[in-house]
Structure 1
Amino acid sequence: MNKADKQLAAVVAEVTDPELRRPLGQMGMLRGAAVAGRAAQVLVALPSRDWPAAGHLEDAVATAACGIAGIETAVVEFTVMNEAEQTALRAQLIGDPAATAGTHEGHGHAEGRAVPFAQAGNKTRVLLVASGKGGVGKSSVTVNIAVALAQRGIRTAVIDADVWGFSIPRMLGVARPPTVIDQMVVPTEAYGVRCMSMGFFAREDQPVIWRGPMLHKALEQFLTDVFWDDPDCLLIDLPPGTGDISLSLAQFLPRSELLVVTTPQPAAQKVAQRAAHMASRVNLQVRAVIENMSWFCGDDGKRYELFGAGGGQALADELDVPLLGQVPLVQQLRSGGDVGKPITAEYPDSEAAGIFREMARLLCEEHLPTRRYNEGLKLL
């Protein structure tokens, strides 16, 4: 390889793949780089045939190559990693199943290894978003807080753990399924939020008829076989109530914190208490209450409390936690969820978007400081 070829290879090796968030050289994806006159030729190995970042990489590599003095055109070609190369890539990203079974060096459900977010020293903050009953807008709250966190530069991910009523992909506007590299799932991303959901594996009109052990295993895979890339914050949208999924997640993620979503009406508040009391029974910390559908503003500018008032504050007082925020009832919040345009991103000047941003700020800065653990402290 001559000097020009080496310079081209060095430049292209630093191009970052947006799915894996790693440079091509580090991932072993750069397979060839050559300069002929004023033209560059680059060969890139994609992790899979349907790699969603292929178009982006073609443009990014060509731009990087043409940024070198003397190069005017660039041709980018692709090949696909073979099975052995995919296995090596998976091992690099989340650990080698054969080498790490029974240790903390890797993770994967089939080998019975620990959930990475539960490991001592793991810096990801896990927030479980719960409600006692359905219909209170818990998933809308989850999505918009996630988007607001991402807007603050927080690396954010969401797991849609409501396997019966999955809705997160639709609310984020994610149309394509995640990609798979040697049984490692690379999650999809929208509005800066990575997500995983049963909705990627079942049609919207297809019921998920599973008993507890299957639910437990599916959640374990979502936590261990997905390349989450160490997010700063992981939000998990729980199904309503206090069933198998909530108990499994309490077991998988004993350090997680609970946000309870309710509406102002006393009936919803009383039911939401059960989710909070379940958390205390399994030693999860309830961190805050969020009240949704708090009021509706009419054309006359007057607030109408359609579902009553005070339920969120009453629940927060009973649990001795802060009321993180009150979200108004607005059409854009509902319609945005239906068509994959979260109000926090698409209508940033709206009152509701401002409230979600303020809740994200409070989560980061004030009421809810991130837990800190002493990595040197181990219980025998």
Structure 2
Amino acid sequence: MPETVDAPRLDLAVRQALTRVIDPEIRKPITELDMVGAVSVDDTGHASVDLRLTIIGCPAADTIERDVRDAVSGVQGVTTVDVDVSIMSSDQRRALVEKLRGPRAQRTVQFGPDSLTRIYAVTSGKGGVGKSTITANLAVALAARGLRVGIVDADVYGFSIPAILGLVDDTGLAVKPTRVGDMILPPVGRDVKVISIGMFIDSAPGSGASGGAVAWRGPMLHRTIQQFLTDVFFGDLDVLLLDLPPGTGDIAISIGQLLPNAEVIVVTTPQPAAADVAERSGIVARQTGQRIFGVIENMGPLTQPDGSVLDLFGSGGGAEVARRLSQGQESPVPLLASVPLSLELRRGGDTGEPLVLANPSDPASAAIISVAEVIATRGRQLAGRRLGVSPR
């Protein structure tokens, strides 16, 4: 006669095991998200789990169901597992959105002055200096250190962050975000949460007449950035990076208005022409009330195997930009790093394999990782922030 099991004890053990199953998009246990319904284990050790997905066609459905089966199968005493997959009702989704956002009558920017998230707007005076590549690699380097990191790809006209992080499908289109009610869940690439206008474009570059291009003017640009900061659920982030378009246009001004607490990282190349325009982007940021955190020089001098130095784009531009931007600011603006000219850094951006992961010892990787270390050790600024507690 088969041995019977302690079914009530196994019920509890199965529920405990399910607390370790994390929704890959929301990054919280499925038990906290009310995605687990009834759980039962019969006398033979057969476990039944009701799993409620957020939406029909949930892109993480297979992953979640597999993780549930693996977690329950690992409970000692469970012999077989049956997972009954269903979809949340509209009331359940509404309750989930309210639980994640909090019971707010009106949606607001998630990363306002009281936020503990460190916000860095990465800007440049001109295009072609590798700003997006630096942003993506910096985000990945921070995530590799255990920080919770997000990117808003605010370069609406020249969005490239999804491709650099490998968030594209076989046709070259950026991976679409998941919508739960009126809440948008950002896709995750290389452990970084990402939102980009490219995720809402239905044609890839080179695939047709539109070619995935965006032709918008000021008001629509402002509304897009505002929606990214209100409707997209990033959760509790340690660091948020914004990849701004080059120059000093509408989006730079909108970011200054929406996120005056953001600090600015200016990316330039060593050549004087790039340094001149990089300085302007920093000045505009300061005019909107933002503080300049530092300067990163990209495509800097490269030490070759024979010991000679190749300075294809000159040298000293980053230090010069930092010196100029230090004028009029309470504390000096540092040159955070000089990232040497790197074919592998460029190649990693084309293949969706960030160099800081593919080859952390590469000189370009080492320079970017050094900036990540500076940011990671800053921690969260509590001074002047409301902590949401009150005396009893």
Q: Scaled by the length of structure 2, what TM-score is found? A: 0.87
2:136 pairs with 1:143: yes
Q: 1:119 to 1:255 in 2, by over 3 A?
A: closer
CA deviations on 1:54-97 (whole Å, 9 max, x unpaired) are 2222222222222333212212231111222211111111145x
Shift of 1:18: 2.4
1:118 maps to 112
1:375 maps to 385
Q: 1:376 to 1:329 in 2, by over 3 A?
A: closer
Q: 1:80 to 1:291 in 2, by over 3 A?
A: same
Task: Output the CA distance in 2 between the equivalents of 1:6 and 1:182.
Answer: 32
Shift of 1:248: 0.5
Q: What is the aligned counterpart of 1:169 among 162, 168, 171?
A: 162
Shift of 1:317: 1.2
2:123 pairs with 1:130: yes
2:277 pairs with 1:271: yes
2:299 pairs with 1:293: yes
Task: Output the CA distance in 2 between the equivalents of 1:296 and 1:357.
Answer: 17
| C-alpha RMSD of matched pairs (Å) | 2.0
Shift of 1:25: 2.2
CA deviations on 1:150-200 (whole Å, 9 max, x unpaired) are 111111111100000000000000122111100211111111111000110
Instruction: Name the SS of the counterpart of 2:31 in structure 1.
Output: helix
Structure 1: 5+ residue runs without aligned partners? 102-106, 108-113
1:111 maps to none
2:194 maps to 195
Q: 1:65 to 1:315 in 2, by over 3 A?
A: same
Shift of 1:5: 6.3
Instruction: Name the SS of the counterpart of 2:15 in structure 1.
Output: helix
CA deviations on 1:87-115 (whole Å, 9 max, x unpaired) are 1111111145xx513xxxxx2xxxxxx31
Task: Output the CA distance in 1 between the equivalents of 2:141 and 2:273.
Answer: 29
Shift of 1:355: 1.1
Task: Output the CA distance in 1 between the equivalents of 2:134 and 2:238.
Answer: 19
1:110 maps to none
Q: 1:95 to 1:376 in 2, by over 3 A?
A: closer
Q: 1:19 to 1:206 in 2, by over 3 A?
A: closer
Instruction: Give aligned pairs, total.
Output: 362
1:318 maps to 324
2:313 pairs with 1:307: yes
Q: What is the aligned counterpart of 1:50 among 57, 61, 73?
A: 57
Shift of 1:291: 0.2
Q: What is the aligned counterpart of 1:223 among 229, 234, 250?
A: 229
Shift of 1:48: 1.3
Task: Output the CA distance in 1 between the equivalents of 2:219 and 2:29.
Answer: 39
Task: Output the CA distance in 2 between the equivalents of 1:126 and 1:236.
Answer: 8
Q: What is the aligned counterpart of 1:10 among 10, 15, 20?
A: 15
Task: Output the CA distance in 1 between the equivalents of 2:376 and 2:282.
Answer: 22
Q: What is the aligned counterpart of 2:105 among 96, 100, 108?
A: 100
Letter in 2 for 1:374: G
Q: 1:315 to 1:91 in 2, by over 3 A?
A: same
The answer to whether the Cα contact below 8 Å between 1:34 and 1:41 also exists between their aligned partners in 2 is: yes
1:254 maps to 260
